[in-house]
Each structure stands twice: as C-alpha cells, then as structure tokens.
C-alpha cells in the first residue's frame, strides 16, 4: 500500500482501561495503547482471549469510560465530561456490531423496531412511512428483504441475525463501525457471506472499520492494517501484507505459525513455533515486556525495561527490545 498522507479519523492516545479486581487488585485490561485509524481504512485488531482487544473497542465507543488516555474522533475527545447531546453526536458517527447475533438483538422487538431504534432516537425519520422506507432500504442493503421487517429475531439464522445487526448499525448512517468478532459465532460458509457484505458496504459508503477478531486469516483478508495485542498492549502494527510476510515481534511470529492452514502438505512440512505455557494474569502482569515469560528470545533487559513503541521500518511499529539497538547494547 502506498504511503500517502491520509486523514486521521480516530486517534487513540495512551488509552488505559483498568477494572477493579478483588479487594486490592487491579486488572489492567488495556494498558497504554496508542494507534490511529485513517478515513476509509479497515484496521484489524487481533489477539487471544483476554488480550484486551474487545475492551479497546468498547472503550473507544465509550461503552466503558477510559481510566486514562484519550480517544480523539475527528479532532474531538470522546471521553471526558460530555452532555447528553454531545454524546448523541458521537453515537451517530460511531456504531458497533457485536459478536453474538443471538444475544445482541432484543428477542421481544420486531426486526423493524430493532433497526429503527437509532432512527427514532436521532429523529432521522419524519413520518411513519419515512421510517418504514428507511428500514426496508436497510434490509435490502444487507441482503434481506422487506417481508422480514415484522418478524422477530428468533425466526432468523445466525448469519441473517448478523445482517440485522449490521443494518441496525447502518441505520444512523455512521462513518465508523467497530465490529467486535462479528463472524466468530458463524459457520465458515456464512462467515464469507458476512465478510463480503461488510467489504461491499465499505466500498459503497466509504465506511471506516475497526475489525476485532482472533481469526488471523480472516483479519488479514479484510484489513488494510493490523494491530496485534498481547496482555493489554499492542505489540506490533503494520499493513496486513507486511505483518504476514515479515512479522517482527516474536509473539506475532508465534501466533502466525500456530494457525493451522487448510493445506495438508504445508501442514506436514511446516516448522511451528509452539509457545510454552499460558498467558499470565492481567492482574499481576510481568514486569518490563509482558511477553517475556513466553518469549523464545527473552533477554535480561526485557524483564527490567518496558520496550518502546517504535517505528522499526516505515509504517511498521513494534514494541520489542530486539529492534531497539540501545536496548540490545545495554543488555550485552
């Protein structure tokens, strides 16, 4: 991808989200995460369960209040004191698609009311007819039809429900959509349908996505750039091609090599980096680099100093002492 000066839609600066855990404990779900999202791009966020990727997404849209740091959307901070009217403005620009299409639709509302909820709140339809027409249009946009409007969620399959979730997000005509594992609950053949739909909509409407998932192959497919998270930190961020061709961070390397590929011959010949042990607890994370306890290249400096978030190559950010000459020198 050509590196052109592009307009930033969203800037996340040193974002932190801590949750209280027990009497004295603090769970550092997201700890000092910074990245930008450009207009019209898809930024993928990958990592294993508990790495803080969903919390990051939810904090950006202010489902959670940030413990510290800023989320700047088109020059304005989303967090901080806000009146209802100000928040409403952000809510119209940012929408979310959730993982579980069974739990994220109210079973007692018709599809029409689910989709029109945002339209009603923001007063986007003047008459009942206008409201209906908008809903019908949205249903057709996501590949359903107007007959579906008066049905209830239980009458739909998982893939169809996810389409309803997408229509609901589109109803207020947002610019930015956070999709939190939107396809993980779906079957393979249905996953492809939903991903294709999301990519089409992006092309038609110029949407910007934050696509959160644990399935790296799907993230690679849909994203322009990908950020890798581990235990509350972003460890690497670059274009999706570069990330998969030349991963720099040892965790990214291990993560990529761990994915089984649907190609038996390749599977037989592939050398795998198998990480030992489990992810440590985010309540009491390791000092220095959080990955050092499982890292095959860990050095002394990794325990002492937290690695800097630095641009190792143009557009390729990584937080690892291996790519920090000073740190390596210090170590020797």
Partner 1 sequence: MEKLLELDNLHVSFQTYGGEVKAVRGVSLSLDKGESLAIVGESGSGKSVTSKAVMRLLPNRIGSIKEGAIRFHGKDLAKASEREMEKIRGAEISMIFQDPMTSLNPTMTIGKQIMEGLRKHQNMSKSEAKERSINLLKLVGIPNPELRVDEYPHQFSGGMRQRVVIAIALACNPKVLIADEPTTALDVTIQAQILDLMRDLQEKTGTAIILITHDLGVVANLAQRVAVMYGGKIVETGTVDEIFYKPKHPYTWGLLASMPKLNADTKELLAIPGTPPDLMNPPQGCPFAARCPYAMEVCIDHMPEASHVSSSHQAACWLLDERAPKVEPPEAAVVGGAR
Q: How far is the CB of 11 from partner 1 (least distance, A)?
A: 29
Q: How far is the CB of 165 from partner 1 (least distance, A)?
A: 17
For residues 150 and 112, the answer to whether their CB atoms sit within 8 Å is yes
The footprint of partner 1 (CB under 8 A) covers 48-49, 157, 159-160, 187-193, 195-196, 199, 214, 216-218, 220-221, 244, 254-267, 272, 274-275, 278-279
- Helix residue ranges, H only, 67-215: 84-93, 111-121, 128-141, 158-170, 188-205
CA distance 215 to 181: 9
CA distance 133 to 171: 12
Q: How far is the CB of 108 from partner 1 (least distance, A)?
A: 21
- Quick one: which H or E segment has residue 176? strand 176-180
Q: How far is the CB of 82 from partner 1 (least distance, A)?
A: 36
Nearer to partner 1 by Cβ, of 16 and 214: the residue is 214
- Give residues with Cβ within 8 angstroms of 50, minimum separation 6: 231, 279, 282
Q: How far is the CB of 240 from partner 1 (least distance, A)?
A: 10
Q: How far is the CB of 48 from partner 1 (least distance, A)?
A: 4
Nearer to partner 1 by Cβ, of 123 and 264: the residue is 264
Nearer to partner 1 by Cβ, of 85 and 188: the residue is 188
Nearer to partner 1 by Cβ, of 10 and 139: the residue is 139
CA distance 33 to 15: 5
Nearest to 186 by CA among 207, 210, 215, 208: 215
For residues 96 and 41, the answer to whether their CB atoms sit within 8 Å is no
**For the stretch 147-158, what's the b/e string if a residue is b when 16 or more beta carbons lie within 10 angstroms of its beta carbon?**
ebbeeebeebeb
Nearer to partner 1 by Cβ, of 259 and 328: the residue is 259
Nearer to partner 1 by Cβ, of 133 and 217: the residue is 217
For residues 75 and 39, the answer to whether their CB atoms sit within 8 Å is no
């Amino acid at each position: 991808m050509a590196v052109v000066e592009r307009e930033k839609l969203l800037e996340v600066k040193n974002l932190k989200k801590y949750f209280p855990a027990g009497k004295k404990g603090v769970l550092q779900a997201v700890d000092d995460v910074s990245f930008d999202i450009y207009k019209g791009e898809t930024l993928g966020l990958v990592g294993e369960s508990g790495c803080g990727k969903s919390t990051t997404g939810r904090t950006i849209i202010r489902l959670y209040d940030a413990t510290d740091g800023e989320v700047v959307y088109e020059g304005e901070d989303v967090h901080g004191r806000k009146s209802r009217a100000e928040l409403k403005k952000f809510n119209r620009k940012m929408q979310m698609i959730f993982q579980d299409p069974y739990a994220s639709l109210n079973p007692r509302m018709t599809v029409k009311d689910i989709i029109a909820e945002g339209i009603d709140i923001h007063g986007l339809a003047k008459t009942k007819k206008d409201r209906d027409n908008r809903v019908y249009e949205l249903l057709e946009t996501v590949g359903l039809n107007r007959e579906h409007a008066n049905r209830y969620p239980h009458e739909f399959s998982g893939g169809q429900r996810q389409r309803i979730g997408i229509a609901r997000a589109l109803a207020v005509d947002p610019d930015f959509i956070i999709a939190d594992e939107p396809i993980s609950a779906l079957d393979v053949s249905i996953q492809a349908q939903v991903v294709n739909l999301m990519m089409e909509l992006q092309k038609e409407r110029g949407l910007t996505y934050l696509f959160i998932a644990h399935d790296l192959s799907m993230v690679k497919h849909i994203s322009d750039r990908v950020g890798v998270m581990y235990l509350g930190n972003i460890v690497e961020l670059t274009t999706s091609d570069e990330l998969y061709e030349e991963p720099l961070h040892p965790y990214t390397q291990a993560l990529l090599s761990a994915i089984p590929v649907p190609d038996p011959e390749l599977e037989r010949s592939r050398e795998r980096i198998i990480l030992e042990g489990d992810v440590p607890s985010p309540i009491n994370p390791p000092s220095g680099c959080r990955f050092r306890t499982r890292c095959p290249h860990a050095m002394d400096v990794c325990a002492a100093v937290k690695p800097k978030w630095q641009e190792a190559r143009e557009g390729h950010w990584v937080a690892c002492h291996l790519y920090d000459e000073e740190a390596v020198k210090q170590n020797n």
